[in-house]
Amino acid sequence: MQCRLRLCYTGCGARPPGGRRLDEEEDGHIFANLIFIQTQIEMNIIEQIEYDKLKQFEDQIGGNVKVGGYEMDNICPINEGHCYQIKLQENDIDQLFLLGETTFKGLTHDKNYRLSGIIDSVKKLDRVKYWIDKKLDLRSSPEWSPVFVSPNTDGPIITIDGNHRLMAHYYQHKNIEGLQGYLFVHPNIQKWGFAPNDAR
């Protein structure tokens, strides 16, 4: 899959998670710091599945936020969406978000809900610490796969179940290459109240 890139400017020379900074020079002087942030995900689709299979997994794992829940089905009817089993690629981290719930907002730099921006204090959360103590690696634990939603298979990806597991995984490993998950796709998902602003 080819990826699209968004060109941004920053005056501080900061390198975004997963982004590449290009310092251009003219007559020996840097006149701009340009960063390239991936805006299309590269995940592998393992297979398209029926919603019943996704629901069975949600029930088995005891998910709190489920596909269609928290008024999602008011704007994203389940029968209009598509479900997949997926495997994430390393660069997908640019477009991977936590659930847009107030508690998670303060756990990321710039309060933008990006998994790549989780702060060090997440390790103190009981539900995150639990999985860190168990040395959870989601890349080899498909039985604990997160559940995601997205407007299409190009992203962005919003985590609806498994946020604490995902934070524990990323805090320890800083890599999502090969991490499996379930994905519900509906074009209206960015209108849902729990979709972070940066994922809209």
Question: Are residue 93 and residue 18 in the same domain, yes or no?
Answer: no
Question: Are residue 147 and residue 67 in the same domain, yes or no?
Answer: yes
pLDDT score of 41: 75
Question: Are residue 158 and residue 115 in the same domain, yes or no?
Answer: yes
Q: Rg of the chain's alpha carbons, rounded to an integer?
A: 17
Look at residues 87, 46, 53 and name the one whose alpha carbon lies nearest to residue 67. 53
Question: Are residue 171 and residue 91 in the same domain, yes or no?
Answer: yes
pLDDT band at 76 (very low <50, low <70, confident <90, very high): very high
The more confidently predicted of residues 35 and 72 is 72
Share of the chain above pLDDT 70, in %: 80
Look at residues 22, 24, 38, 58 and name the one whose alpha carbon lies nearest to residue 149. 58
pLDDT band at 175 (very low <50, low <70, confident <90, very high): very high
d(CA 24, CA 99): 37
pLDDT band at 16 (very low <50, low <70, confident <90, very high): very low
For residue 108, what are the domain limits? 44-199
Q: Both tokens of residue 37?
A: 């942030």
pLDDT of residue 62 exceeding 90:
yes
Question: Are residue 52 and residue 133 in the same domain, yes or no?
Answer: yes
Question: Are residue 120 and residue 22 in the same domain, yes or no?
Answer: no
The DSSP secondary-structure symbol of 118 reads: B
pLDDT score of 36: 44
In degrees and rounded to multiples of 5, residue 149 shows phi and psi of -130, 155
The three-point CA angle 104-159-113 to 5° equals: 35
Question: Are residue 9 and residue 100 in the same domain, yes or no?
Answer: no
Average per-residue pLDDT for the chain:
86
Question: Are residue 129 and residue 54 in the same domain, yes or no?
Answer: yes
d(CA 9, CA 94): 17
Question: Are residue 48 and residue 119 in the same domain, yes or no?
Answer: yes
Indicate the burial class of 31 (C-beta count within 10 angstroms; 0-12, 13-18, 19 or more). Answer: exposed
d(CA 125, CA 127): 6
Question: Are residue 138 and residue 165 in the same domain, yes or no?
Answer: yes
